[in-house]
Amino acid sequence: MLSKISIDTIRTLVMDSVERAKSGHPGTAMALAPAMYAYWQFTMYYNPADPFWPGRDRFILSGGHASILLYATVFLAGVKDVENGQVVDRPALTLEDLKNFRRFESRTPGHPEYGLTAGVEITTGPLGQGCSSAVGMALAGRWLATHYGRPGFDLFGYHVTSFCGDGDIMEGVSAEAASLAGHLKLGNLTWVYDSNRISIEGSTDVTFTENVAMRFESYGWQVLEVEDGNDVPAICEALKQGREETSRPTLIILRTVIGYGAPGKAGTASAHGEPLGREELLGARKAYGWPDDAPDFMVPDGVQEHFEELAGQRGRRAQAEWDRQFAAYCAQYPEEGDELRHIFAGTLPEGWERDLPVYPADEKGLASRQSSGEVLNAVASQFPWLVGGAADLAPSTKTLIRGARSVQAPSNMVQEGGGYDGRNMHFGVREHAMAAICNGLALSGLRPFCAGFLIFSDYMKPAIRLAALMHLPVIYVFTHDSIGVGEDGPTHQPIEQLAQFRAMPGLTMLRPADANEVVESWRVAMQHRAGPVALALTRQNLPTLDRTRYAPADEVARGGYVLADCEGEPEILLMASGSEVSLVVGAYERLMAEGVRARVVSMPSFDLFDGQDRAYRDAVLPPSVRRRVGVEMASGFGWDRYVGLDGVVMAMNSFGESGAAAELMAKFGFTVQAVYEQARQLLHPAAD
């Protein structure tokens, strides 16, 4: 009975919160209340008193629009709050917070936000992302369990469970992630698919009639079906079977009725995205057996205690046992214990910079993808939990960790050797899932990187944005960063990609100019723990600048710096990033030889430069100097910030073409000569 009352308490809190907010998504939350109850009360190992417990099961509400379901449960389960990264002795959410659902500056925003509300493991909302990132969390569990597992210890046997809806299942990103999860045989992963046959445009019959069960079987998943979304014992049994099947992921197809209980709206699209209205709400309460005079936000006696008795006690006991084990582990394996503490805290291992190379001046130089590969390997050798890979492009992106094994299910014997504790991920041609999975890895304490051609970052965009929103330290290694790609042509030559990343809040984009800027870019990336970092690297060779002649590369950390200068105030500023820096250096040398006072500014990162104080920025780009040239083999969009109304941006105004890189550069005006001429013209404009 307390079971039914608890479920209906979730439902009424859902309805009341949405009604009060005058917006929100009640239907799915009402439908999933029994599954939520079953999972939290009878299945999940989660200690409400410590939402950071590393051994906890992970719960992901992939359909983030049903956020109120999670908030109501976090409230009822008494999850403790977090302040400045520490658990504090007060509830994460109170009834008052539910009353403030979707309000300005509340703890209960429209979609769950990681870092804002304790108990929320990941920001969700854009469909398909949560369940795909859950694959990363499950993989991280397997990685940690294998890499740090020792006889007699079971520290990372946690299970990852994601609730998904029709939208999540229709999205391509989840299809990619599910295929990879099946390949990796992630038996610690369960997706609960809320199949309610209703979407915003009406019945799913208008567009979604595939056989989902068969599809997931084709991926190698266990597929279970629960015919009645209100049948708690059946849901518990399916969740249990999901945990017991350790050699493949599990999909539980749960048939539910959207807006269950609402007399007129249950089972209809109108229960999805708007308040039910007072009449439907009262009708639903009646259907649940709620008293006629029940106040809004009623929490019947005993419900919170019931959550404490089941979910709370089980979680508490489990964490106590885990704490005991972890202490014994640290005593027996102090080095591994130290590493795990770094992983839990998100800090870097001692000496991670030890092997970073320094590159001597070299006219021929090397491609920045090449130097990046060397730097990555130098870091990886000192950083055991740096793990990543490419979307089937590792030989081109130079992102293989040498001598390391492949990340694979142990039963999958591959040529280079594999196991769950490998270092090299083979994501397949699944860029979007790659990025979503990296979010899950980062949320689990691993330090992930992933790689592809810069143009294919387009496929990853929604997941990268979530990394930025969640401040996750994922590193993106994007190579083939311009028309310098050459023969592969315009489908493979990025134009607008640098601009779109620079315009994205929270992401740091770096485009190093030579091998030593690559070293410093990686240094920035590794130390930057407050958000994702993207590196834009060349396919083609870049000269390694003579740093005895020009400024040292460590100023990369400031985003932009004076690379080469003149005596006194410059007459002209020449700016560029990445491969174009050597062009402006060439033009600078010619101008200086002719007696022009010129300055070269290397601008590897707009984001970092804009974060410097005004004095520094003005010192690098003196406001009084208005003759400015910005050069980049990409869309010039955004360069005007530094070039102003009186300068010139030399950039791409069209898509690229197929041909030898040098021919393309000549055609589109990226030569020393062209920069030089542009500068001369600014210095001595022809009379109009």
Q: Work out whether 267 is an interface residue with a copy of itself (CB under 8 A).
A: no
**Segment lying near a copy of itself (by CB under 8 A), choices 101-109, 155-163, 370-378, 569-577:** 101-109
CB–CB of 488/467 below 8 Å?
A: no
State which residue, 84 or 415, has the beta carbon closest to a copy of itself. Answer: 415
- Please state, in angstroms and rounded to a whole number, the distance separating the CA atoms of residues 255 and 195: 5
- Please state, in angstroms and rounded to a whole number, the distance separating the CA atoms of residues 222 and 187: 9
Q: If we measure between CA atoms, which residue out of 504, 434, 445, 501 comes closest to residue 472?
A: 445
In the complex, minimum distance from the CB of residue 480 to a copy of itself, in angstroms, rounded to a whole number: 12
Q: Is the dihedral of CA 267, 273, 274, 278 positive or negative?
A: positive
User: According to CB under 8 A, which residues from 650 to 669 bind a copy of itself?
Assistant: 652-655, 657-660, 663-664, 667
In the complex, minimum distance from the CB of residue 434 to a copy of itself, in angstroms, rounded to a whole number: 10
Contact residue for a copy of itself among 14, 21, 144, 266 (CB under 8 A)? 21
Q: Work out whether 381 is an interface residue with a copy of itself (CB under 8 A).
A: no
CB–CB of 443/122 below 8 Å?
A: yes
Q: Where are the alpha helices (DSSP H) in 366-421?
A: 368-380, 394-397
Build a one-symbol-per-residue string for 165-204: x at contacts with a copy of itself by CB under 8 A, - elsewhere.
-xxx-xxxxxxx--xx-xx---------------xxxxxx
Contact residue for a copy of itself among 4, 99, 103, 316 (CB under 8 A)? 103
- Please state, in angstroms and rounded to a whole number, the distance separating the CA atoms of residues 61 and 160: 11
Helix 26-42 / helix 67-77 crossing angle, nearest 10 deg: 40
In the complex, minimum distance from the CB of residue 537 to a copy of itself, in angstroms, rounded to a whole number: 17
Q: Work out whether 511 is an interface residue with a copy of itself (CB under 8 A).
A: no
State which residue, 4 or 626, has the beta carbon closest to a copy of itself. Answer: 626
Helices and strands, number each (H, E), in the chain: 25, 24
Tokens at residue 459, please? 């496929």
CB–CB of 275/19 below 8 Å?
A: yes
State which residue, 119 or 167, has the beta carbon closest to a copy of itself. Answer: 167
- Please state, in angstroms and rounded to a whole number, the distance separating the CA atoms of residues 430 and 417: 22
State which residue, 495 or 576, has the beta carbon closest to a copy of itself. Answer: 495
Contact residue for a copy of itself among 56, 248, 306, 432 (CB under 8 A)? 432
Contact residue for a copy of itself among 157, 635, 676, 679 (CB under 8 A)? 635
**Segment lying near a copy of itself (by CB under 8 A), choices 138-146, 224-232, 576-584, 632-640:** 632-640
In the complex, minimum distance from the CB of residue 580 to a copy of itself, in angstroms, rounded to a whole number: 17
**Segment lying near a copy of itself (by CB under 8 A), choices 34-42, 306-314, 371-379, 635-643:** 635-643
Residue that the structure tokens 């299945």 belong to: 43
State which residue, 167 or 473, has the beta carbon closest to a copy of itself. Answer: 167
- Give the rounded distance of the alpha carbon of 272 from its chain centre: 27
State which residue, 82 or 499, has the beta carbon closest to a copy of itself. Answer: 499
In the complex, minimum distance from the CB of residue 538 to a copy of itself, in angstroms, rounded to a whole number: 16
Name the helix (H) or strand (E) containing 498: helix 497-502
Q: Work out whether 149 is an interface residue with a copy of itself (CB under 8 A).
A: no
In the complex, minimum distance from the CB of residue 231 to a copy of itself, in angstroms, rounded to a whole number: 26
CB–CB of 607/502 below 8 Å?
A: yes
Number of residues that bind a copy of itself (CB under 8 A): 121
Contact residue for a copy of itself among 316, 405, 626, 680 (CB under 8 A)? 626
Q: Work out whether 355 is an interface residue with a copy of itself (CB under 8 A).
A: no
Q: Work out whether 64 is an interface residue with a copy of itself (CB under 8 A).
A: yes
| 103 exposure class (CB count in 10 Å sphere: 0-12, 13-18, 19+) | middle
Contact residue for a copy of itself among 33, 60, 92, 212 (CB under 8 A)? 212
Under DSSP, the state recorded for 606 is: H
> Which amino acid would we find at residue 372?
S
Half-sphere exposure of 295 (CA within 13 A, CB side): 5
Build a one-symbol-per-residue string for 469-508: x at contacts with a copy of itself by CB under 8 A, - elsewhere.
x----------------xxxxxxx--xx--xx-xxxxx--
Half-sphere exposure of 682 (CA within 13 A, CB side): 26
In the complex, minimum distance from the CB of residue 72 to a copy of itself, in angstroms, rounded to a whole number: 17
User: According to CB under 8 A, which residues from 402 to 421 bind a copy of itself?
Assistant: 406, 408, 412, 414-415, 418
**Residues paired with 372 in a beta bridge:** none
CB–CB of 311/77 below 8 Å?
A: yes
β strands within 202-361, DSSP E: 202-203, 222-226, 250-255
Q: Work out whether 104 is an interface residue with a copy of itself (CB under 8 A).
A: yes
**Segment lying near a copy of itself (by CB under 8 A), choices 106-114, 230-238, 444-452, 670-678:** 106-114
3-state secondary structure 106-156: CCCCCCCCCCCCCCCCCCCCCCCHHHHHHHHHHHHHHHHHHHCCCCCCCCC
Q: Work out whether 574 is an interface residue with a copy of itself (CB under 8 A).
A: no
CB–CB of 619/603 below 8 Å?
A: no
State which residue, 247 or 412, has the beta carbon closest to a copy of itself. Answer: 412
**Residues paired with 253 in a beta bridge:** 193, 225
In the complex, minimum distance from the CB of residue 441 to a copy of itself, in angstroms, rounded to a whole number: 16
Q: If we measure between CA atoms, which residue out of 433, 607, 451, 616 comes closest to residue 531?
A: 607
Neighbouring CB atoms inside 10 A of 207's CB total 12
**Segment lying near a copy of itself (by CB under 8 A), choices 207-215, 368-376, 523-531, 547-555:** 207-215
State which residue, 102 or 314, has the beta carbon closest to a copy of itself. Answer: 102
CB–CB of 249/257 below 8 Å?
A: no
User: According to CB under 8 A, which residues from 512 to 541 bind a copy of itself?
Assistant: none
In the complex, minimum distance from the CB of residue 496 to a copy of itself, in angstroms, rounded to a whole number: 4
In the complex, minimum distance from the CB of residue 470 to a copy of itself, in angstroms, rounded to a whole number: 10
State which residue, 379 or 470, has the beta carbon closest to a copy of itself. Answer: 470
Q: Work out whether 225 is an interface residue with a copy of itself (CB under 8 A).
A: no
**Segment lying near a copy of itself (by CB under 8 A), choices 289-297, 345-353, 390-398, 679-687:** 390-398
State which residue, 361 or 503, has the beta carbon closest to a copy of itself. Answer: 503
- Please state, in angstroms and rounded to a whole number, the distance separating the CA atoms of residues 275 and 632: 50
Q: Work out whether 109 is an interface residue with a copy of itself (CB under 8 A).
A: yes
In the complex, minimum distance from the CB of residue 622 to a copy of itself, in angstroms, rounded to a whole number: 11
Contact residue for a copy of itself among 92, 224, 386, 393 (CB under 8 A)? 393
Residues labelled catalytic:
431
3-state secondary structure 444-484: CCCEEEEEEEHHHHHHHHHHHHHHHHHCCCCEEEEECCCHH
> Which amino acid would we find at residue 587?
A
In the complex, minimum distance from the CB of residue 64 to a copy of itself, in angstroms, rounded to a whole number: 7
**Residues paired with 83 in a beta bridge:** 86
Give the CA-trace dihedral at 109, 61, 267, 168, to 10 degrees.
Answer: 110
- Please state, in angstroms and rounded to a whole number, the distance separating the CA atoms of residues 486 and 492: 9
In the complex, minimum distance from the CB of residue 229 to a copy of itself, in angstroms, rounded to a whole number: 20
Contact residue for a copy of itself among 43, 62, 123, 319 (CB under 8 A)? 123
**Segment lying near a copy of itself (by CB under 8 A), choices 123-131, 186-194, 513-521, 569-577:** 123-131
Residue that the structure tokens 């019931």 belong to: 306
